Amino acid sequence: MARTRSGQDLINDAYRRSDNESATDRHPRTDVLRYVNQGCAELYDLLVEARGPSFFRSSSPWSFSTTASTTLYTSSFPAAFYRLISIRVSDGQVSEPLFQFTPTEEPELRTVGVSAYFPSHYELRPNGVCLLPEHSAGKTVTVEYVPSFTDLTDSSSSYFDGINGWEEYAVCFAARCMATKDEEWELQRSLDADMARLKERIKKLAPKRDAYQPRRVSDVRGPRLRGSWRLYGR
């Protein structure tokens, strides 16, 4: 069962942690909320790194259909897109993964006259994705991604999932911001130490590869680059 805490609770905890419950004039709740959200965003990065992006994948992947003579797709690009997990393409019967192309591969993939049934490679852009080589219309592309952290509000109904009490990191972060403003250097050092201990605990969440299990070998060039997409070209 998740251990959720509200934005309101985290703000109150930060005040107590820094001994500032009666200092709301010097440290307005709006400021402390901003500190809490900065701490939660940093904690979110730590958890994504430790648990792996797939653990935090969006429940609604970005999907779109390919169109002829098009390589750049931006329509309906999710505003909450933060980190890519994978891209796959399907015609309803066959589904294949796409592989990231490099600058040295792009010229060949853009060669005039080359087209493919499926695209084979992608490049992520700030507001969309480029798929190469040129390809047939009507294929479904599915982009799995990690959504960005959503800011909390100063409310009892705005929740952060601390999973196992990890929200304490955001509390310490916000308390540290207040300690810095108050020039409470001893408290700041104490909070730094607490955050460092929490970071070490979070890092231990990372799965360990079974030493007796052989490492899987994959050909990252992709099936199309190995030659099959040329069947549809010049």
Tell me the pLDDT tens digit for each residue of 102-147.
999 999 998 866 678 899 999 999 999 999 999 999 999 999 999 9
Q: How confident is the model at residue 205 (pLDDT cuts 50, 70, 90)?
A: confident
Q: Is the pLDDT of residue 196 over 70?
A: yes
pLDDT (mean) for 36-50: 96
| The predicted structure's pLDDT at residue 34 | 98
Per residue in 34-44, is it b (16+ CB within 10 Å) or e — as a string? ebbbbbbebbb
Q: Is the pLDDT of residue 8 over 80?
A: yes
Measured CA angle at 141 (ends 137, 142), to 5 deg:
165
pLDDT (mean) for 17-32: 96
Among the listed ranges 111-115, 125-129, 200-204, 215-219, which one has the minimum average pLDDT value? Answer: 215-219
| The predicted structure's pLDDT at residue 192 | 97
Residue 183 amino acid letter: E
Beta bridge partners of 116: 135
CB neighbour class for 165 (10 Å; exposed up to 12, middle 13-18, buried from 19): exposed
Per residue in 125-134, is it b (16+ CB within 10 Å) or e — as a string? eeebbbbbbb
Query: Would you kindly state where each structural domain of the chain is located, as residue ranges?
Result: 9-52+159-203, 55-147+220-232
